[in-house]
């Protein structure tokens, strides 16, 4: 059976709608909680697919959260072998750092729903399913990163130029959240309550937008992930 190992940073930021796609295609899904489990014991080459999920910390906070160093080392070992790797939000930032790119606070927090603007390369890739004409997208981040050397930019927004990038056929990294499920978004609203309050985010509006947009995003996100899995050779 094919395997997915998902590195998780907070319990409610999980694989979301992507998990159903993996189950449909016969993957065995396992989670590792980065902050409490020993990442140095994880075999970087063992899973067929490694997914690194989101979280509320910064990649540059390794002195405060030492496990970040082990996570970056794990990603470097994986990427050197050119093995299928998927990153979401913090996961994308960690991939960028593992590839030698700078990760740093962005010009402003980007929290809420807005459509993506695809590049020409993006329109000819799996992320074409996430074009703004097809779906809105959930954004929830304050940091950004330089585009890693050898990466292809696939999508942007007005506040964040580097929203999605790929590296060959084996890496896909999302600064945004194509995996979010409307049924579990309330966990995000509670779990990130302090951040939302500090940034004066209208929670009822964010909740309403989630109800409005999340079902379509789940459909388009599933199409995107499935096409990418075919391109990597993990799914026929």
Instruction: Return left, alpha or beta for 22; rule: phi > 0 is left, psi -120 to 50 is alpha, else beta.
Output: alpha
The rounded percent of the chain whose pLDDT value lies above 70 is 100
Overall number of domains in the chain: 1
What residues have CB less than 8 Å from 45, skipping those under 6 apart? 77, 78, 81, 83
pLDDT in the model for residue 147: 98
Pairing of strands 171-174, 164-167: antiparallel
Helix (H, G, I), strand (E, B) or coil at 181: coil
Query: pLDDT tens, 3-24?
Result: 999 999 999 999 999 999 999 9
Q: Record the pTM.
A: 0.97
Query: pLDDT tens, 112-144?
Result: 999 999 999 999 999 999 999 999 999 999 999
What residues have CB less than 8 Å from 121, skipping those under 6 apart? 152, 153, 154, 166
Domain that holds residue 224: 2-232
Query: pLDDT tens, 189-236?
Result: 999 999 999 999 999 999 999 999 999 999 999 999 999 999 999 999
What CATH number has the domain bearing residue 57? 3.40.50.880
């Amino acid at each position: 059976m094919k395997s997915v190992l998902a590195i998780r940073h907070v319990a409610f930021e999980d694989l979301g709608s992507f998990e159903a796609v993996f189950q449909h295609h016969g993957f065995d899904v396992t989670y590792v909680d980065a902050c409490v489990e020993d990442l140095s014991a994880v075999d970087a080459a063992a899973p067929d697919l490694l997914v690194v999920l989101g979280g509320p910390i910064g990649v540059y906070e390794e002195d405060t959260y030492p496990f970040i160093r082990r996570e970056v080392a794990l990603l470097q070992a994986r990427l050197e072998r050119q093995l299928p790797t998927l990153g979401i939000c913090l996961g994308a930032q960690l991939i960028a750092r593992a590839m030698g790119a700078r990760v740093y606070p962005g010009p402003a927090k980007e929290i809420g729903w807005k459509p993506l603007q695809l590049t020409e390369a993006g329109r000819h890739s799996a992320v074409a399913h996430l074009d703004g004409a097809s779906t809105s997208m959930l954004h929830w981040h304050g940091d950004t990163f330089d585009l890693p050397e050898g990466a292809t930019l696939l999508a942007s927004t007005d506040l964040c130029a580097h929203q999605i990038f790929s590296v060959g056929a084996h890496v896909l990294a999302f600064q945004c959240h194509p995996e979010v499920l409307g049924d579990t978004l309330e966990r995000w609203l509670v779990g990130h309550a302090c951040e939302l309050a500090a940034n004066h985010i209208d929670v009822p509006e964010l909740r309403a937008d989630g109800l409005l947009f999340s079902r379509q995003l789940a459909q388009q996100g599933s199409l995107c992930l499935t096409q990418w899995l075919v391109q990597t050779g993990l799914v026929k």
